[in-house]
Amino acid sequence: MARPLKEIEQELLLLPQNERAQLAHRLIVSLDEDVHVDEGVESAWLEEVKKRDAEIERGEVQAVPYEAAMQSARDALKEVKKK
């Protein structure tokens, strides 16, 4: 008999943060396994990544640290919720 989801969830939430993150990534990837990927979109994203990387390498733009980017996103969401 399968264990109840709630029981599994409670057990998994006791894992260290990095292990929970790895598990979350695996679960998300598993959702995309049967999804058709549009090669044109995939190619366009790859070109965009290359373009942005080159801009950083040339010093045209400066990367934002992860925590600063996340804080900016949280602040923006708070502003949206106020409206």
Q: Give the pLDDT confidence score for residue 60 in this predicted structure.
A: 97
Inside any domain, residue 18: no
Q: Tell me how many domains the chain contains.
A: 1
Q: What is d(CA 69, CA 49) in angstroms, rounded to the nearest whole number?
A: 17
pLDDT at 10 over 80: yes
Inside any domain, residue 6: no
Average pLDDT, integer, range 8-35: 92
How many other CB atoms sit within 10 Å of the CB of residue 7?
10
Q: Report angle CA 17, 18, 19 to the nearest 5 degrees.
A: 90
**Burial readout 14-39 (b: 16 or more C-beta within 10 A, e: otherwise):** eeeeeeeeeeeeeeeeeeeeeeeeee
Inside any domain, residue 45: yes
- What is the per-residue pLDDT across 38-73, written as a single tens digit (0 to 9) for each? 889 989 999 999 999 999 999 999 999 999 999 999
Inside any domain, residue 16: no
Inside any domain, residue 20: no
- CA separation (Å) from 23 to 17, 20, 34? 10, 5, 19
pTM: 0.46
Q: What is d(CA 65, CA 63) in angstroms, rounded to the nearest whole number?
A: 6
Q: Give the pLDDT confidence score for residue 63 in this predicted structure.
A: 92
Inside any domain, residue 26: no
Which residues span the domain enclosing 48? 39-82
Inside any domain, residue 58: yes
